[in-house]
Amino acid sequence: MLIDIQAKIREGKGAGYEHWARIFNLKEAAKTLIFLKEKGIDSYEDLKKKAPSASGDFSALTKKIKESEQRMSEISELQKQIGTYGKTREIFAAYRKSDYSEKFYEQHRANITLHRAAKKCFNDMGYGKDKKLPTISSLKQEYAALLAEKKRLYAGYRELKETSRALTMAKGNADRILGIKQKAQDHNTSYDKRSNAHEK
């Protein structure tokens, strides 16, 4: 593949080259060649495998980071609501003892509303009779572990993103330089012509 690309650069012509030349110049072709050499990719099959593989790895890493961020957000909200629940628990208990007095409600509307919102949050997160609320201490430990994991994942995030982008671009360039797509189209066109002729 590298030899073919070098030949196309020297020739300045060939299947698919004219279309490619409108978008890319010889400098881009040379950069693609250098990149492939640096990565030790010397066959089109190898490039075809590595490009989507790197893209898949990047997508999986991005998903893990988003999942960590989502859980960290949930923990922050849960910690906040646990604190609110603790501060308003006595007032809500008194409200219940008052047989849900309208007068008592008007006097403590804000705290009662906050207490109910906290309870709704717990229910929405699946905490109830069968699942007890975690302690603030355990939530802090989980948050710290997730933060450490997120930092670890981010360490390779940018490098993997750049590698994925570069491999995808290199494959696109190789396809255009070598006329891979054009060959596939020509093959399909020939097949269609044979099919039509057979039908007639």
Q: Note the pLDDT tens digit of each residue in 68-106.
A: 999 999 999 999 999 999 999 999 999 999 999 999 999
Q: Could you tell me the maximum CA-CA distance found in the chain, to the nearest angstrom?
A: 92
Percent of the chain whose pLDDT exceeds 90: 38
Pick the closest to residue 35 from 12, 1, 58 (CA basis): 1
Comparing 10-14, 52-56, 131-135, the range with the smallest average pLDDT is 10-14
What burial class does residue 172 get, using C-beta atoms within 10 Å of its C-beta: 0-12 exposed, 13-18 middle, 19+ buried? Answer: middle
Pick the closest to residue 159 from 28, 61, 38, 69 (CA basis): 61
Tell me what the pLDDT averaged over the chain comes to.
77
Pick the closest to residue 44 from 16, 105, 8, 2 (CA basis): 2
Instruction: Give the pTM.
Output: 0.59
Structure confidence at residue 169 as a pLDDT band (50, 70, 90):
confident
Q: What does the pLDDT average to over 103-131? A: 92
State both tokens at 146: 């997730």
- Residue 190 reports pLDDT greater than 50: no
- State the DSSP string of the chain: -HHHHHHHHHH--STTHHHHHHH--HHHHHHHHHHHHHTT--SHHHHHHHHHHHHHHHHHHHHHHHHHHHHHHHHHHHHHHHHHHHHHHHHHHHHHHTTS-HHHHHHTHHHHHHHHHHHHHHHHTT-SSSSPPPPHHHHHHHHHHHHHHHHHHHHHHHHHHHHHHHHHHHHHHHHHHHTHHHHHHHHHHHHHHHHHHHH-
Cβ pair 71, 146 in contact under 8 A = yes
pLDDT at 62: 86
Q: What does the pLDDT average to over 131-153? A: 92
pLDDT at 74: 94
pLDDT at 187: 44
